[in-house]
Amino acid sequence: MGIKGTNKRRPTHPGGILKRHYIEPLSLTISEIAKDLGVSRKTISKIVNEKGAVTPDMALRLSKAFNTSPELWLNMQAKYDLWIAEQKSADLEKISLLIPAFMPLEA
């Protein structure tokens, strides 16, 4: 990831993936998914409508229900969140590099 404007295309929100790749093809309802995952209908609705984020707990639930990895859901959410933050951060260009590029970071 770079400074604002380097990645112009908005990443897909995980709720969009959930809707298009799982809910619609499997003819599931938000209520059915919520019941199966043990969460409220409102929680799933917010994610599917891209108004809520996939948390680590939700990533675990989705991965179990749809035979995926929790990292899949968390990585999608992180990419989406980072892109949104880059769009909102008008002052990123004002930040100067504090360490030389060749300086290794200690683990």
Transcribe 12-79 into DSSP letters.
PPHHHHIIIIIITTTT--HHHHHHHHTS-HHHHHHHHTTSS---HHHHHHHHHHHT--HHHHHHHHHH
The contacts of residue 36 (CB under 8 Å, 6+ apart) are 65
**Residue with more model confidence, 63 or 91:** 63
**Percent of the chain beyond pLDDT 70?**
91
Give the model confidence (pLDDT) of 71-86 as tens digits. 999 999 999 999 999 9
What residues does each domain of the chain span?
A: 14-89
The owner of tokens 């809520």 is 52
Q: Does the domain made of 14-89 have the CATH classification 1.10.10.10? A: no
pLDDT at residue 5 is higher than 70: no
**Residue with more model confidence, 35 or 98:** 35
Cα angle 46, 52, 58 (rounded to 5 degrees) comes to: 95
pTM: 0.81
